[in-house]
Chains A and B, each alone.
Chain A
């Protein structure tokens, strides 16, 4: 095989979506959670999902992350059908290759465990058995999310909302996941705290080459972070495309409303 062929192989691999979502639908009884959702997420790409409250953003994210079982459609992760994936494998992926950042840090942290223990948990879950190494790695990650080293033995209950959120991020990223799901990671935080968190997230996403699906109803968040944008309404995707295109030239009436209401603020 020549160098040219190798090159093509590498490119073909790159061009395969990390996540391929095909006609996903989730019902709650006969109420629609989300329906007919189709998109591809490529390695290193950040997809923003926006939409009003109740439009199905969290439901969709739950399906993608394997927390909810879709009623129809397929989700392929790295070419593998998640529906056919056994639970052990799905749980293994969710503590190695995937990460999930909850809106409420309390849902994503162990409040009774120190910051260091919170960050170290995923390491120990994948077999780390050297206390010194675990602690050093935890300290390093606390530094990366701008939490002072001397807070390593404090419990998250002693942290501010912004610190808790940064701790949750460190805890998730410590095992080097490829795909990160975030549900309103900046929700409920003060504006200045939000800005700092966004900045940090942007740096981490770029440095680590993460693929991200981020749900928010803050268009400023997607403008800063997302390469592509998906707009949802009543459980359906009404518009998707490059973030700048969608925001600067919205096609769908609902998107136009969304964008204009932000501009008015």
Chain B
């Protein structure tokens, strides 16, 4: 340990990132620029989230890392290992036991509580980018709360698909002020952004932006009066644990096209099976 800085980054850098985080918490939903550092992994691997996590970790923390809800993907495993090695922190797969959770594309199903920190990996922090590529202009739009363009995007969705087809990175308004990209979580997760007891931090490495939602922040998904927001999911129950209210992945199970639906949150699913819940294809007591 003595050869390395705790959690890889030097203290100077962590201080700089913490300042950005504090500013983000003070102005919920506002994108704070920060000087993103080279990390020993490619940008697509969530270097923004990793830097935020590194700046938040203390030796007493217990870290959980998920990718699309799963703790066991290559991405999640390597980030978890990285912090085990560089910070020596304890790790866990149980949402309820983690103090810091770094995530890509999901919010855990198990409700978070006060004291927990959820760190999102963000590829494109600017929700207006889709229609306005000029950075000077989008910054001006945020400053002056000129958010009509966000609804143009939703209008285009309805005009083309008959309904708001945006399923991921569904834009939200924070405390009636800043419009924010919640990172590519499914819109099913959007309601969990709001009034959440945990601290939610968003890190975009390549784009060098950090933003935040302090606990119990009001977050509203944008919509039209006649096309209200819907937190939709596949109309099935989990085939393993029978949950009817969790976000599901569709899995092809053989080359004849058979498919099953399983919770994308692996910890949630395993916990339910361990508690005796059984789905259509699950075997009682099959949980490890």
Residues in A lying within 8 Å of B, measured CB to CB: 87-88, 91, 95, 110, 112-114, 116-117, 120-122, 124-126, 129-132, 134-135, 152-153
Would B159 and A132 count as touching, CB distance under 8 A?
no
Would B148 and A117 count as touching, CB distance under 8 A?
no
A124 to B225 Cα, complex, angstroms? 12
Interface class of chain A by DSSP? helix
Question: With A113-B156, A114-B156, A114-B159 in contact, do A129 and B131 touch (Cβ < 8 Å)?
Answer: no
Which residues of chain B from 143 to 171 have any CB-CB distance to chain A below 8 Å in the complex? 144, 146, 148-149, 151-152, 155-156, 158-160
Query: Which residue on chain A has the smallest CB distance to residue B158?
Result: A131
Residues in B lying within 8 Å of A, measured CB to CB: 131, 140, 144, 146, 148-149, 151-152, 155-156, 158-160, 224-227
Question: With A117-B159, A135-B159 in contact, do A129 and B151 touch (Cβ < 8 Å)?
Answer: yes
Query: Which residue on chain B has the smallest CB distance to residue A131?
Result: B224
A177 to chain B minimum Cβ distance, whole angstroms, is: 15
Question: With A130-B224, A131-B224, A132-B226 in contact, do A124 and B148 touch (Cβ < 8 Å)?
Answer: yes
Query: Which residue on chain B has the smallest CB distance to residue A125?
Result: B148
- Which chain A residues border B149 with CB–CB below 8 Å? 121, 124-125
Would A113 and B152 count as touching, CB distance under 8 A?
yes
Question: With A125-B146, A125-B148, A153-B160 in contact, do A120 and B224 touch (Cβ < 8 Å)?
Answer: no
Would B148 and A121 count as touching, CB distance under 8 A?
yes
One of B146, B152, B156, B225 near A129 (C-beta < 8 A): B225
B226 to chain A minimum Cβ distance, whole angstroms, is: 5
- Which chain A residues border B158 with CB–CB below 8 Å? 131
Q: A116-B159, A129-B224, A153-B160 are in contact. List 6 more A-B contacts (CB 8 A).
A: A87-B144, A121-B149, A130-B224, A131-B158, A131-B224, A131-B225
Query: Which residue on chain A has the smallest CB distance to residue B141?
Result: A91
Would A131 and B227 count as touching, CB distance under 8 A?
yes
A120 to B156 Cα, complex, angstroms? 10
Would A117 and B224 count as touching, CB distance under 8 A?
no
Would A130 and B156 count as touching, CB distance under 8 A?
no
Would B156 and A117 count as touching, CB distance under 8 A?
yes
Would A130 and B155 count as touching, CB distance under 8 A?
no
One of B151, B159, B227 near A124 (C-beta < 8 A): B151
- Which chain B residues border A132 with CB–CB below 8 Å? 226
Would B155 and A91 count as touching, CB distance under 8 A?
no
One of A95, A120, A126 near B152 (C-beta < 8 A): A120
Would B146 and A134 count as touching, CB distance under 8 A?
no
Would A130 and B226 count as touching, CB distance under 8 A?
yes
Interface pairs (14), CB distance under 8 Å? A87-B144, A88-B144, A95-B148, A113-B152, A116-B155, A117-B156, A120-B152, A121-B148, A122-B148, A124-B151, A124-B152, A134-B155, A152-B159, A153-B160
A88 to B160 Cα, complex, angstroms? 33
A134 to B225 Cα, complex, angstroms? 11
A132 to B225 Cα, complex, angstroms? 9
A152 to B148 Cα, complex, angstroms? 19
Closest 3 CB pairs between A and B? A125-B148, A124-B148, A124-B151
Would B148 and A131 count as touching, CB distance under 8 A?
no
- Which chain A residues border B155 with CB–CB below 8 Å? 116-117, 120, 124, 131, 134-135
Query: Which residue on chain B has the smallest CB distance to residue A112?
Result: B131
Would A121 and B225 count as touching, CB distance under 8 A?
no
